[in-house]
Amino acid sequence: MGKGVPRTRGSRQGGGRLARRTVAVSVLLSAVIGAAFSLLALAIDALRDSEERANHALQVLVAANRLERLVIDVETAQRGFIITGETGFLDPWYQAQRDVAQQATALERLASAGNGGQDRRARQITRAVGSYITGYAVPLVTTARRDPGRARTVAVTEDGQRRVDALRKGFERFTAVERQIFEAGQDRAEASAHRALVAAAVSVAGSIALILLSGGYLVRSVVRPVRRASAMAGRVAGGDLAVRMPETGPGEVGVLERALNTMAGSLEKSRAELAASRARVVAAADQTRRRIERDLHDGTQQRLISLALELRAAETSVPPEQKSLVRQWSRTAQGLTEVVEELREISRGLHPAILEKGGLGPALRALARRAGVPVELSVDVRGRLPERAEVAAYYVVSEALANAAKHARASVVRIDAGVDGGTLRLLVADDGAGGADPSRGSGLIGLSDRVAAVGGRIEITSPPGGGTSLLVTIPVGKA
């Protein structure tokens, strides 16, 4: 008890280490995954912002291109009208003028929502376009309606070309800046996408690495020790109480390992004490049987034989005319002889003298001769075996023959005995009714205890209607 207390305290002190380590690994894994996904969220947000800027720049470019095409449409329509004088060119001219106002407003609105000073440049372009429409295009068409020749003068044409060239240069500068903004937005979007991919890869790789590390730790610290504990428990359940496992597990697993080793040690010690106690009981019983047999043989039996001889001698001295007395003494002498035979049978049942003098082979042959059922005997035992083994084997055969004659109604019993590799193997099989059940309190329980007391094993097979067989193995050392 004194040695077990410190172990229990140590188990209690270290019992929570595995739980703390598992929680720490879980917290670390959660922190790494959370940080990785936070970086991923920031990268995705930056990517979204870059894409929005690039898309806005693209919309501004589209609006500027549309406004430039409308100015070109106005210039083309009015040139056609001035050259041909056909009023059919004026319908698209008027439509283009109306669209110019709407598209200029759309361009200013989009540019004001952007950055890079494009809102100021957009207002300059829209004012220049408006000045071109109101200060040149409309007066030119009005003049062409009244005096086509005047509208075709070189000065007017050069003024219009100069205005259009100035507008184109303004559009070129505006779109060049907007393209730079668009390309910068594209670059930022690509960089953000790259960062998002890197963040995702880092998060996945870090998570996988931590999961593998934690999984390896759990396998090494929990799964393998639990498997060893399971294997040990199976071997203990199978009767191998000498098995032990290394006490290397952390925390609660180490407590389990120590507990299993302690349990196995306690069971092994208890089994050894039980086997020793059983062997002492059987040895004491055999010693008592041997003493009783010797006392009967040397004392009571010899005394009865002497009395019978004295009666026979006295019988011869009785006068012939006293026939009744002769008959009475004769019956008494015969009764004493029968009592002696009964005592001899009892003595053989207690401890057969032939077993002590001749060994297992002659003792089994004597049992076969006296059996109440035919016996097929095969004995391959050379020399003497340990007394405990011979006595156990003798009583197994004696009990089996008695059961076969009284209960099994067998017609024949086969007995095979031999020594193989330092083990006595004994098989007793009959062709009787079978159905023998040691749990019902038959003599088979006593046989099992006797065989187990000498370190042997007995296997009983007795299906109903299939006869009964007893296979006994007893260690006897070197043959």
Q: What share of the chain has pLDDT > 90, as a percent?
A: 4
**pLDDT of res. 216:** 79
**Where does residue 305 rank: exposed (0-12), middle (13-18), buried (19+ CB within 10 A)?**
middle
Q: Is 295 a domain residue?
A: no
Is a pLDDT exceeding 70 seen at residue 163?
Answer: yes
How does the average pLDDT of the chain come out, rounded?
77
**pLDDT of res. 6:** 41
What tokens appear for 247 in the block? 């006490």
Instruction: Write the DSSP assignment of 418-434 as a string of letters.
Output: EEETTEEEEEEEE-S--
- The Cα 343–Cα 293 span in angstroms is 9
Q: What is the mean pLDDT of residues 144-167?
A: 75
Q: Please say whether the beta carbons of 417 and 380 come within 8 A.
A: yes
**Segment among 161-170, 306-315, 418-427 with least mean pLDDT:** 306-315
**pLDDT of res. 416:** 93
**Segment among 27-41, 172-186, 290-304, 440-454 with least mean pLDDT:** 290-304
What tokens appear for 154 in the block? 């070189």
Q: Is 440 a domain residue?
A: yes
Q: Residue 346's pLDDT band (boundaries 50, 70, 90)?
A: low
Higher pLDDT, 432 or 323: 432
Q: What is the mean pLDDT of residues 352-365?
A: 81
Q: Cβ atoms within 10 A of the Cβ of 69, count?
A: 14
Q: Is 385 a domain residue?
A: yes
In this structure, the answer to whether residues 84 and 223 fall within a common structural domain is: yes
Among 213, 228, 243, residue at a domain's last position: 228
Among 228, 263, 289, residue at a domain's last position: 228
Q: Is 209 a domain residue?
A: yes
Higher pLDDT, 315 or 130: 130
Based on its alpha-carbon atoms, the radius of gyration of the chain, rounded to whole angstroms, reads 59
Q: Is 434 a domain residue?
A: yes
Q: Which helix (H) or strand (E) holds 293?
A: helix 251-295
Among 177, 204, 228, residue at a domain's last position: 228
**pLDDT of res. 253:** 74
- The Cα 199–Cα 222 span in angstroms is 33
Q: Could you read off the pLDDT of 184-240 as tens digits, one per residue?
A: 777 877 887 777 778 778 777 877 887 887 777 777 777 778 887 888 788 888 777
Q: Residue 299's pLDDT band (boundaries 50, 70, 90)?
A: low
Higher pLDDT, 1 or 445: 445
Q: Which helix (H) or strand (E) holds 469?
A: strand 469-475
Instruction: Write the DSSP assignment of 367-395 as a string of letters.
Output: HHHH-SS-EEEEEE--S---HHHHHHHHH
In this structure, the answer to whether residues 158 and 14 fall within a common structural domain is: yes
Q: At 197, is the secondary structure helix, strand, or coil?
A: helix
- The Cα 94–Cα 91 span in angstroms is 5
Pairing relationship of beta strands 469-475 and 375-380 according to DSSP bridges: unpaired
Q: Could you read off the pLDDT of 242-286 as tens digits, one per residue?
A: 888 787 767 677 777 788 888 878 887 776 666 665 555 555 555
Q: Is 235 a domain residue?
A: no
Number of structural domains, the chain? Answer: 2
Q: Is 322 a domain residue?
A: no
Tally helices (H) and strands (E) across the chain: 15, 5
Q: Could you read off the pLDDT of 102-135 as tens digits, one per residue?
A: 888 888 888 787 666 778 888 888 888 888 888 8
Structural domain of residue 203, as residue ranges?
4-228
**pLDDT of res. 414:** 93
Q: Residue 11's pLDDT band (boundaries 50, 70, 90)?
A: very low
Is a pLDDT exceeding 50 seen at residue 460?
Answer: yes
Q: Is 236 a domain residue?
A: no
**pLDDT of res. 315:** 66
Q: Cβ atoms within 10 A of the Cβ of 247, count?
A: 15
Sign of the four-CA dihedral 50, 53, 54, 55: positive
| CATH code of residue 362 | 3.30.565.10
Long-range contacts of 410-413 (CB under 8 A, 24+ apart): 410/373, 410/467, 411/373, 411/374, 412/373, 412/374, 412/375, 412/376, 413/371, 413/373, 413/374, 413/375, 413/376
| CATH code of residue 69 | 1.20.120.1730
Q: At 471, is the secondary structure helix, strand, or coil?
A: strand
